[in-house]
Amino acid sequence: MSGKRIDITSKEELEILFNKCLAYYDNDDDKYMALALLVSDRSKDPRNQVGAVIASASGELLVYGYNGATMGVSDDDFPWDSTGEKTGDIMHNKDYFVVHAEMNAIINYLKTNRNGTLKDATMYVTWCPCNNCAKVIAQTGIKRIIYHRMYSKPEQITPNLFIFEKAGIECVPYSPYYEITKEDQMFQRSCIKSKLLKK
């Protein structure tokens, strides 16, 4: 199962799809997960495109983020192939330079809302958060996480769930009925974009 990739090349295109998405979906969970999938398309990572959307307790869209290189490093010039994972060369290992979608969303919010709060907000993310993201999320006041797909290293999920439980954060899959694969996710994102582009 695979879908044709439709690149979202500008923030303006993303905003147009956002507005159509907000009008198209009635259910907040469906609406914001669709937005997270659309946001993930902004990532230049060819293996793991991740998007995160944060909505307030009242259901208002607050902010979004996607995984990308750190500020000052061009996403276009970044060594996304991450060959250093196999060779041990940390300068060619993307893990040392990529800011995850969840952290980017939180940082984006704090940059524009210095006195704002994420208390009782919900984060919609296309992957279950990693351990570093889990620790940061626990510090923000976010009370609910809905993830689209399980984190790629399931053995590392137990500490994250412990962190969420102790912080009073509900962490649930978007689809409790079956495991969503990377291919399913790509197909769903493509379908959402195709559907919204027709409107």
Catalytic residue among 12, 13, 85, 102: 102
Which among 71, 141, 72 is positioned nearest to 111, based on CA atoms? 71
85 is catalytic: no
CA 178 – CA 106 distance, rounded (Å): 29
CB 68 within 8 A of CB 55: no
Q: Would you name the residues annotated as active-site residues?
A: 102
